[in-house]
A = this chain, B = another copy of it.
């Protein structure tokens, strides 16, 4: 299964790519600019201490979307729509994981506040725009980039997964648990991303208040 990370050169995308490569998955790092994708791949090889990583490839976002079996979107909110428009025609009904957080900081405000989107959540925005071209699942938005890029430590955060297609949710949940320390929690239909995405600004708030970078959430008693 090839995992294509759209916007894979940002911290969140880079972190997810590192974790999946480390778990032996085939990963395509996508970027608007192929050179940026190649630079990110070089950086990841440095971090992982290996020049020989045949399961890690750099591509443009369009080629990544065309070649991935599962697509993960990790761009900031202000880049979400323009990125979706640039890759929609490359998608053919694959699982499309939206990890966008609707942070006010993306609109010049505070990263500790959310903004309300017309569709209810960033993931529902992707689903509405992509239509039949993708099966959208919301996941990964609460897991801090800092946790992900600290590849030798467990990620102390559950992955809350929401989506209208249960089988797709299960595939994403299994993928998430390839990240050491992560437990996947299915939250039901995609509309639940309205709550899950809003947790991200709270965790950023707790990071700032406590001078840490990797506050996470765990669900207890289930």
Task: List chain A positions with a Cβ less than 8 A from chain B.
Answer: 112-114, 116, 147, 156-157, 160, 185-188, 191-192, 194-196, 198-199, 201-203, 205-207, 209-210, 212, 214-222
Contact = CB atoms under 8 A, between A and B. Distances in A.
A221 B214 contact: yes
- Count this chain's copies in the assembly: 2
A217 B212 CA distance: 19
A205 to B, nearest CB: 6
A217 B215 contact: no
A221 B217 contact: no
B187 A206 contact: yes
A112 B191 CA distance: 10
A192 B173 CA distance: 29
A186 to B, nearest CB: 7
Nearest to A214: B221
A206 B218 contact: no
A35 to B, nearest CB: 35
A30 B104 CA distance: 40
Contact of A222 (B195, B212, B219): B212
B188 A195 contact: no
A147 B116 CA distance: 32
Nearest to A209: B188
Contact of A216 (B112, B157, B187, B220): B220
